[in-house]
Amino acid sequence: MKKAVDIDNEMKAELISRAIGAQKYSFAPYSRYNVGAAALFDSGEIYTGVNVESASFSGTICAERNAIFSAVAEGERRLIAIAIVGGTDFAREEYCVPCGACRQVMRDFADKDNMIILSAKEPDDYLEHTLDEMLPFSFGPESLD
């Protein structure tokens, strides 16, 4: 495995800025809750994603999974950190946290003890958690060994 990229304050600000930049492309005409995400992989590449809603809600995808799946489609496998921003009508008045489905997908591609989740409003206003803090007692790939 490749060495993990260090997540310093500059990288955290970059991830959050990229998530904010992506948010404007969110398609959420039903909930009006617009989300942007930026995922950092061990290659050093950052992939962005937005939530895309469907009139048939089961066809909807969250921003976090959109970013992760885009990265996987490019050959990435080890998620290091993700920044998430969101709010009604593109506002960022609260901290947006990943849903359970997104946390589980993160678990499949990350070291649960070291992967960082940044729930942000602005590059200098965010909450930071490890995946293990957000998904304790998780079921992961090693559970199938």
- Catalytic annotation on 64? yes
60, exposed or middle or buried, with CB in 10 Å at 0-12, 13-18, 19+? Answer: middle
**Which of 106, 99, 59, 57 is closest to 81 using CA atoms?**
106
pLDDT for 77: 97
pLDDT for 140: 85
Q: Is residue 1 part of a domain?
A: no
d(CA 61, CA 91): 19
Q: Is residue 4 part of a domain?
A: no
pLDDT for 141: 83
Q: Is residue 110 part of a domain?
A: yes
Domain of residue 94, CATH code: 3.40.140.10
**Long-range contact pairs involving 93-97 (C-beta distance under 8 Å, separation at least 24):** 93/121, 94/121, 95/119, 95/120, 95/121, 95/126, 95/127, 96/35, 96/120, 97/134
Please identify which of the residues 10, 14, 64, 128 carries the catalytic annotation.
64
pLDDT for 6: 64
Q: Is residue 119 part of a domain?
A: yes
Q: State the residue range of the domain holding 76.
A: 9-135
Q: Is residue 143 part of a domain?
A: no
Q: Does the predicted TM-score (pTM) go above 0.85? A: yes
Q: Is residue 145 part of a domain?
A: no
Q: Is residue 19 part of a domain?
A: yes
Q: What is the pLDDT along the chain (145 residues), one digit of tens a residue?
A: 333 446 899 999 999 999 999 999 999 999 999 999 999 999 999 999 999 999 998 999 999 999 999 999 999 999 999 999 999 999 999 999 999 999 999 999 999 999 999 999 999 999 999 999 999 998 888 888 7
Q: Is residue 41 part of a domain?
A: yes
Count how many domains the chain has.
1
